[in-house]
């Protein structure tokens, strides 16, 4: 990447910032000069990841917040703006994958939990931040969807539906906020690995014992990668550049788009 500081003096709020993708993106934004507010569920994890920002010379604040609770989101956004500055960029990324099971067996409580975190939570953060951006007539937002929100994989009723919802929310919000000079885009990553998420996903798909995948997780990995035109997994570090592009003025005439980061689409 270049050493440009596209975001010097700006402020970004990143949700799910103690997780893999949130942290990688927050680091990239800080590297490009943005102050960052890292939001997640767990203070100890946030403290741990915040240590990695010292070299960038930007302000870093952490805030514990459960995105499913609107009052908690409002408080966190208020805290971010008071302690760091008006939020210019939102990376709306907190998420949870949930169970793997065919729809007829999908656990009811887990469905509600996934929708609450991935869709309702994303709405909460989008609402609380965009109201403030509207007052300032400025801002750029990226929501994290998934290829599961564009294609609907088997055994992922809650996650797939929620992420389809995030794609829809991105389109609607882009229209609602365009008159206020605010852009809203999304990313749809898929098949990132290796690592815990990749292992978990392939193990759980194998355990569903459905016609789509083998019951051996190692074979599931091969089957999944065979569906990727580029025939390889994506690396988490292949995500931040796309998010930074969508947040930046380099994409100043792009809004309402959810960009697959998936090695192509078969
Ligand atoms: N890793 C992948 O392969 C992949 C693919 C497509 C989409 N995604 C999406 O990317 C986003 C980030 O995923 P990741 O891979 O970094 O996973 P991750 O589990 O490492 O990070 C997710 C983070 O969200 C946080 N979170 C969960 N529920 C929350 C809540 N209620 N309030 C606040 N924070 C909460 C978690 O604590 C965690 O730190 C998620 O939305 C996920 O659905 C990931």
pLDDT digits (tens, 9 = 90+) for 165-220: 999 999 999 999 999 999 999 999 999 999 999 999 999 999 999 999 999 999 99
Could you tell me the residue ranges of all domains in the chain?
Answer: 11-192+236-254, 193-233
Pocket test for ligand 1, best of 45, 95, 243 (most atoms within 8 A of CB): 95
CA of 179 to the centre of ligand 1 (A): 30
Where would I find the H helices in 51-186? 70-83, 108-114, 121-136, 148-151, 157-177
**211-241 per-position pLDDT tens digit:** 999 999 999 999 999 999 999 999 999 999 9
Which atom of ligand 1 lies at the shortest distance from residue 66's CA? 32
CA of 94 to the centre of ligand 1 (A): 5
d(CA 123, CA 120): 5
Average pLDDT along the chain: 97
What is the pLDDT at residue 2? 55
What is the pLDDT at residue 4? 76
d(CA 72, CA 74): 5
In angstroms and rounded to an integer, the radius of gyration of the C-alpha atoms of the chain is 18
Which atom of ligand 1 lies at the shortest distance from residue 234's CA? 3
d(CA 266, CA 261): 13
User: Looking at the annotation, which residues are catalytic?
Assistant: 159
Contacts of residue 264, Cβ cutoff 8 Å, sequence gap at least 6: 228, 229, 230
**Percent above pLDDT 70 for the chain:** 99
Judge: domain 11-192+236-254, CATH 3.40.50.720.
Answer: yes
What is the pLDDT at residue 66? 98
CA of 266 to the centre of ligand 1 (A): 25
What is the pLDDT at residue 266? 75
Return the structure tokens found at 24: 């990688």
Strand 35-40 to 11-15 pairing: parallel
Q: CB–CB of 68/112 below 8 Å? A: no
d(CA 114, CA 31): 32
Whether 90 shows a pLDDT value over 70: the answer reads yes
d(CA 203, CA 218): 8
Tell me the Ramachandran region of residue 139: left when phi exceeds 0, alpha when psi lies from -120 to 50, beta otherwise: left
Mean pLDDT confidence for 5-21: 98
Using pLDDT thresholds of 50, 70 and 90, give the confidence band for residue 24. Answer: very high
Burial class (CB in 10 A: 0-12, 13-18, 19+), 69: middle
């Amino acid at each position: 990447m270049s050493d440009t500081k596209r975001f010097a003096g700006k402020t970004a709020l990143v949700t799910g910032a103690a997780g893999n993708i949130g942290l990688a993106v927050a680091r990239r934004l800080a590297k490009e000069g943005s102050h960052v507010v890292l939001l997640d569920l767990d203070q100890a994890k946030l403290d741990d990841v915040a240590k990695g920002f010292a070299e960038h010379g930007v302000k870093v604040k952490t805030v514990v917040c459960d995105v499913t609770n609107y009052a908690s989101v409002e408080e966190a956004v208020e805290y971010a703006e008071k302690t760091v500055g008006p939020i210019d960029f939102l990376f709306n990324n907190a998420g949870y994958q949930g169970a793997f099971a065919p729809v007829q067996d999908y656990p009811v409580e887990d469905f509600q939990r996934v929708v609450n975190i991935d869709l309702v939570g994303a709405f909460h953060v989008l609402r609380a931040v965009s109201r403030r951006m509207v007052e300032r007539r400025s801002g750029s937002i990226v929501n994290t969807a998934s290829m599961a929100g564009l294609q609907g994989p088997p055994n992922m009723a809650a996650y797939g539906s929620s992420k389809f919802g995030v794609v829809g929310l991105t389109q609607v919000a882009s229209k609602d906020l365009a008159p206020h000079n605010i852009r809203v885009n999304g990313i749809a990553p898929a098949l990132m690995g290796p690592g815990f998420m990749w292992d978990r996903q392939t193990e759980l798909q194998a355990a569903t014992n459905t016609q789509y995948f083998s019951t051996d997780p190692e074979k599931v990995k091969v089957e999944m990668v065979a569906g990727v035109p580029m025939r390889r997994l994506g690396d988490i570090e292949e995500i931040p550049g796309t998010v930074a592009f969508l947040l930046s003025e380099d994409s100043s005439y792009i809004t309402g788009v959810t960009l697959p980061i998936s090695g192509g689409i078969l």
